[in-house]
Amino acid sequence: MQQQAYCWRTIAGVDDVRAAQLIHADAIDILVDLSDIPAATGWAYSRANPRRYKSGYLGYLNTSGIAAMDYRITDASADPPGASDRLHSETLLRLPQTLWCYQPPEDAPSVAPPPAQRSGYSPSARSINVAKLHDRVLKLWPSSCAGYPPRACR
């Protein structure tokens, strides 16, 4: 997406006042937030040009709760029509098929069999914002792996 954009700004770590100034100065027609913490930039959205449309996509798959956020891009599988609309502060814009699109590179290796076929158990993992990792969280991980072979937690 970044390569297709005329201008791309990363505003992580930029204070709200400066972010709002950048949004306004760039004369954005449609602002799409790809972050996983939309509330962190909510102030900037509310002070950006109110005549412009603001939307969330991919980074945070739930309502932002930000009144200034106009839309959230989703699909009918993630948000069945009529089932979750009332739970969002945004209007849901549903893509016709799926919001997830991925085409592996031609030189990507073949898909391997699932680890459960080799080991007899199903490993699990979670991808999170690295800022949420701290000593207290890391100390909890070994206890959450009780009953699994030690290699499952490494």
Q: How far apart are CA 126 and CA 106, in angstroms?
A: 27
Q: Is the domain of 72 the same as that of 140?
A: no
Domain interval for residue 58: 2-95
Count: domains in the chain: 2
Within-domain flag for 7: yes
Q: Is the domain of 87 the same as that of 132?
A: no
- Per-residue pLDDT reduced to its tens digit, 36-83: 665 555 556 666 665 566 777 777 788 888 777 888 889 998 899 998
- Per-residue pLDDT reduced to its tens digit, 87-131: 998 899 999 988 887 788 899 888 888 877 877 777 666 666 666
Q: Is the domain of 90 the same as that of 129?
A: no
Residue with the two structure tokens 């449309």: 53
Q: Is the domain of 17 the same as that of 63?
A: yes
Q: How far apart are CA 33 and CA 72, in angstroms?
A: 9
What does the block give as tokens for 111? 């898909």
| pLDDT at residue number 81 | 92
What CA–CA distances, in Å, run from 134 to 56, 137, 154? 28, 5, 17
Which residues make beta-bridge pairs with 106? none
